[in-house]
Structure 1
Amino acid sequence: MSTLTKISGSFDQPHDAATTETKVSASQSVECDPHLVFLEPEDNPQNMSSFRRWLAVLIISSASLCVTCTSSIASHFAAFTEQGVAETFHVSQEVTVLGISLFVVGLGSGPLLVGPLSEVYGRNIVYQISYALFFIFTFPVVFAPNIAVFLVFRLITGFCGSAFLSVAGGSVSDMFPNSSIASPMAVYTISPFIGPVAGPVISGFINQHLYWEWTYRVQLCWIFVEFLMLLLFVPETYVPVILKKKARRLRKSTGDPKFYAPLDRREGTLTSAILVSCYKPFQLLIFDRMALLLDSWNALILGILYLAFQAFPIIFENIHGFNMQDTGLAFIGIGFGMLSAISTQPLWNRGVPFSLAFSIKSILMVLISRLYARETAKHNGNPPPEMRLIMGQVGAILVPVGLFWLAFTTYPQVHWIAPIIASVPFGSGIYFVFTSTFTYLVTAYRPIAASAMASNSALRSAFAAAFPLFAGAMYNRLGTVGATALLAGLSTIMAPLPFIFYRIGARLRKNSRFAAD
């Protein structure tokens, strides 16, 4: 595989290196090989208008939100219409919860295939085919004749939608240089986590007034609209594929078959690339303790988020007497926390005036952002990956605080607004934890950034699939206070990780055979 191909497949900071490689290719085409095509300014996705690039980011992000929303819609419908579904398919209520678990399993396993495909055929074709299949295979879910068909196609639709959890981040990094990538990447990063929160809100309204199949009928309409927007407004952004198409056009227009792009001469086969993408993430989890612990921390928090889709109906419907619609609205607290967290992104970016930040955010956040800016300047604008964990430290505190607060406000005598308010810091902590960890993984494990993200996705999906399965039994046995406090305790045990790795991460990277030193 060419250097350009490797660089363009990375999540973090591919652009300066890619631009350098492009200039080298241009020089080679003039001095060494006139048939090697190179990237000209009009071909560079970073030279598109700001409006067009941001439109593509918003469409990709909304498509990702739609996919993850589908998973939580299933969990919410399982929580609120179990009796109707059990009667429709003649199964026990516990079986219906598999709808979310199998969908998430598909989300976790899909990146192992679509990642290598996107490096050969480009981002766009992967988006279009995967979303078309996502749309087509949702029909058997809506009109399933039995529970087996329903569950099988839940797994398949999750697999088809996984491209937006593995490839989309690369599209964002293709279109924006290092100096301006933070904000668009933050918008994309939060979309897969806003999706599960939006699902209960949407399905709560639907199930309150209509039968459960309408949940997926509305989803079908949404998927179709997203598919049309992907076709019309999202361009190809993967530089090696752009060069490959350019070489094809030159061969056709000039009649000279010698024109070629770096991707035409890539080493290895697609099969070998898929095999590597399958074993490398698990090799990383087995032999690198830092990656294993950070991925386990992420997996626990996402598992707790998906468990909440079974726990909130118990807390708000059984204890406070909420109906379906009102219980769906109870998830707004988590969503508000996430949106509040993303609004602090300018504080983490360089160049924000202290006076502006002070006027709109807390003193704590300002001090942290100033610490980040000072450390960045100390390392000549190229801070070590461990600096990314400062944001994770904030999240590590907020997540258990929110969960303990939630646990001890679930008593019937406590007003229902208290647990909703408690879920706000939990939602904020989720954003800080995942944004910090994602950025750290792609910088600390730069040589295998795609595999590092795939290992994180696989472990997260495993936990998110498993936690809803035992949520009901755990809350019935321990009660709302005990069960939620147990989750808070587990998150507290994992909370020191970003503080520890902030201190010793550089030393661990030196001794790792996977991490960048």
Structure 2
Amino acid sequence: MAHEKTVSSDTPIHLESVPITSQNQPPITQASWEADDQNNPRNWPVWKKNAQILMVAFHSMAATFMAAGIIPAYEAMAKDYGVTLPEASYLTSVQILLLGLVPFFWKPITSIYGRYPVFLLSVLGSTVCNIGGACCTSYAAQMATRILAAVFISPPIGIGSGVITDLCEPEQRARKLGWWTLMLTLGTPGGPFIMGFVSKHLGYEWIYWLFAIMNFGQFLVYVMIGEETMYITDGDRPRAKGAAQGFWGKLVPRRMNPRPLKAHDFIAPLLFSKYPAVIIPAIAHSVVFSYANIALIVEMPIVFGEEFHFDAQQIGLQFIAIIIGCVLGEQLSGPVSDYFLQWVDGKKGSHCPADRLWLSYIGFGTVVAGLLVWGFQLEKAVEWNVTPCIGAAVASFGNQIITTTLIAFAVDSHRDHSTDIGVCINFYRHVWGFIGPFYFPHMFEHLGISGAAGVMCGIIAGAALVPIIAIQVVGSRSGH
């Protein structure tokens, strides 16, 4: 039997000739049968490819949606569980940390068994954990369900970029990566926004019931239209249709790669930190995401609850500004980025990944402006007004531009390892995001909201903007 191998975005494709099948036929190259093979995800109909991308994007959104969705219920859970408000917030903090760490475990598993069975297990396991969360009566039990739910729901946050890269041509990559990054970002404000209504009118137990219903709905969609997005070959030929094909066949987990798992596989994504085109965008994105997304979301319940005496529903409504900013930002970052590269191609005859970074400066400018407006207007407000929300929307607009642009740049720079890069960037984003809530309250208390906003803008300029300018200069000169 021919040796079995997996060809994905993490395995470079070597264009070498295979033996001729007939003396009357010319040699067939691997590139030719890959272009003709209908089992190759690149050759699927557009609707089918888009469906897989949207499913993994929604799956990623569900992870951050569930971590942040319990924020409006902190006070009620603290009272029922007999803990302090900061202790209740750890139910979210621990999920943020695990969403950054656990993809290191899932990525090697998917390289051996495929992405599809892992996604099925992910949403089904999360369903069970959320049912348990709805029935919990103690803080310790709830913490256990949140830990397990984060472990199960985390795979697409790390490997989503690999799915998109395998399904998209380069000229569409930023737009489709934008779908994924937008949904990932929207989960953070979307969870508190929707669950604020649920917590007030139905009780926080229904937050977990709705999480479970959402996850089980994802499971049904995966069963009905989901497919394996890794391209499988038998040696030097396309895999023939067999037991792994068809509706029932795809539901049965099977070993797709015969090589054994090694300890090195579980840390391999982090080794991409040695590449400037990965580590610099990763750190820049993590810093901006922490201050232009997580800081706003963590601080809103505290400020609006204490200063304006808002209930869970009223606090949830404030997140509309962040949602609007993210959606508008994606309209510029994804499609415009791809159109910009096409324009560069037409003008210069070619482009390099560093050309994408021009759009990131729009993001940096709006992030700084938005944070300053949010901070100064919120500090001087004696009663609620819309100006702090406008600042939050502008900052979110810039954050989304930076997120999509920097991830697309990193993937383009090392496109044969897009999944590893996704896991690596995700690690830095969530670890930095996990640390933030521990010092945010002290920073806002001692510096004031306006002073803290100024400090955050200074850190963004020094730790994100300056390094991105440097890597663009170097990348543009070298053509990389």
**Normalised-by-shorter TM-score class:** 0.7 to 0.9
Question: For each residue in 1:286-307, what CA deviation from the matched residue of structure 2 results, as whole angstroms up to 9, or x when unmatched?
Answer: x455644432222222222223
Alignment of 1:221-370 (within 5 A): 221-240=213-232, 246-247=239-240, 249=242, 268-269=259-260, 271-272=261-262, 275-285=263-273, 287-288=274-275, 291-304=278-291, 305-344=293-332, 345-350=334-339, 369=340
Name the amino acid aligned to 1:138: N
Moved more, 444-453 or 158-167: 444-453
Q: Which residue of structure 1 lines up, in the alignment, with residue 138 of structure 2?
A: 146
**CA shift in 2, pair 1:456/1:42, >3 Å:** closer
Alignment of 1:73-88 (within 5 A): 73-78=69-74, 81=75, 84-88=76-80
Counterpart selection for 1:485 from 454, 462, 467:
454
Name the amino acid aligned to 2:319: F
Q: Give 1:414 shift.
A: 6.9
Where 1:496 maps in the other structure, the secondary structure is helix
Moved more, 435-444 or 43-52: 43-52
Name the amino acid aligned to 2:60: S
Q: Which residue of structure 1 lines up, in the alignment, with residue 250 of structure 2?
A: none
Where 1:240 maps in the other structure, the secondary structure is strand
Counterpart selection for 2:42 from 29, 43, 46:
46
Stretches of structure 2 lacking an aligned partner (at least 5 in a row)? 246-254
Name the amino acid aligned to 1:468: P
Counterpart selection for 1:412 from 377, 381, 388:
381
Moved more, 420-429 or 320-329: 320-329
Q: Distance in 1 between matches of 2:377 and 2:436?
A: 22
Counterpart selection for 1:71 from 46, 67, 72:
67
CA RMSD of aligned residues (A): 3.3
Counterpart selection for 1:422 from 376, 391, 395:
391
Question: For each residue in 1:280-326, what CA deviation from the matched residue of structure 2 results, as whole angstroms up to 9, or x when unmatched?
Answer: 344443x4556444322222222222232220123323333433212
Q: Distance in 1 between matches of 2:402 and 2:54?
A: 22
Q: Give 1:340 shift.
A: 0.9
Q: Distance in 2 between matches of 1:44 and 1:296?
A: 34
Counterpart selection for 1:106 from 89, 95, 98:
98
Residue 505 in 1 paired to residue 475 in 2?
A: yes
Question: For each residue in 1:224-268, what CA deviation from the matched residue of structure 2 results, as whole angstroms up to 9, or x when unmatched?
Answer: 11111111111122112799993572999xxxxxxxxx965x6x4
Stretches of structure 1 lacking an aligned partner (at least 5 in a row)? 253-261, 351-368, 511-515
Q: Give 1:141 shift.
A: 2.2
Residue 119 in 1 paired to residue 111 in 2?
A: yes
Counterpart selection for 2:208 from 202, 209, 216:
216
**CA shift in 2, pair 1:294/1:320, >3 Å:** same
Name the amino acid aligned to 1:405: V
Q: Which residue of structure 2 lines up, in the alignment, with residue 513 of structure 1?
A: none
Where 2:377 maps in the other structure, the secondary structure is coil
Q: Distance in 1 between matches of 2:172 and 2:275?
A: 32
Question: For each residue in 1:366-395, what CA deviation from the matched residue of structure 2 results, as whole angstroms up to 9, or x when unmatched?
Answer: xxx4xx5453335533x2221121222221
Where 2:37 maps in the other structure, the secondary structure is coil
Q: Distance in 1 between matches of 2:338 and 2:182?
A: 17
Q: Distance in 1 between matches of 2:60 and 2:445?
A: 34
Q: Give 1:193 shift.
A: 0.4
Q: Distance in 2 between matches of 1:109 and 1:428?
A: 27
Alignment of 1:27-38 (within 5 A): none
Residue 194 in 1 paired to residue 193 in 2?
A: no
Q: Distance in 1 between matches of 2:68 and 2:42?
A: 35
Q: Distance in 1 between matches of 2:21 and 2:398?
A: 50
Name the amino acid aligned to 1:435: T
Residue 458 in 1 paired to residue 427 in 2?
A: yes
Question: For each residue in 1:326-363, what CA deviation from the matched residue of structure 2 results, as whole angstroms up to 9, or x when unmatched?
Answer: 2211111111111112222333223xxxxxxxxxxxxx
Moved more, 405-414 or 440-449: 440-449
Q: Give 1:105 shift.
A: 1.7
Q: Give 1:424 shift.
A: 1.7
**CA shift in 2, pair 1:241/1:198, >3 Å:** farther
Q: Which residue of structure 2 lines up, in the alignment, with residue 385 of structure 1?
A: 353
Q: Tell me how many residue pairs correspond in the alignment.
A: 459
Q: Distance in 1 between matches of 2:373 and 2:203?
A: 35
Q: Which residue of structure 1 lines up, in the alignment, with residue 55 of structure 2?
A: 59
Counterpart selection for 1:401 from 363, 369, 373:
369
Q: Distance in 1 between matches of 2:244 and 2:336?
A: 49
Residue 184 in 1 paired to residue 176 in 2?
A: yes
Q: Which residue of structure 1 lines up, in the alignment, with residue 251 of structure 2?
A: none
TM-score by length of 1: 0.79
Higher relative contact order structure (alpha carbons within 8 Å, sequence separation ≥ 6): 2
For the 8 Å contact 2:296–2:392, the answer to whether it is kept is no
Q: Which residue of structure 2 lines up, in the alignment, with residue 496 of structure 1?
A: 466
For the 8 Å contact 1:236–1:242, the answer to whether it is kept is no
Q: Which residue of structure 1 lines up, in the alignment, with residue 157 of structure 2?
A: 165
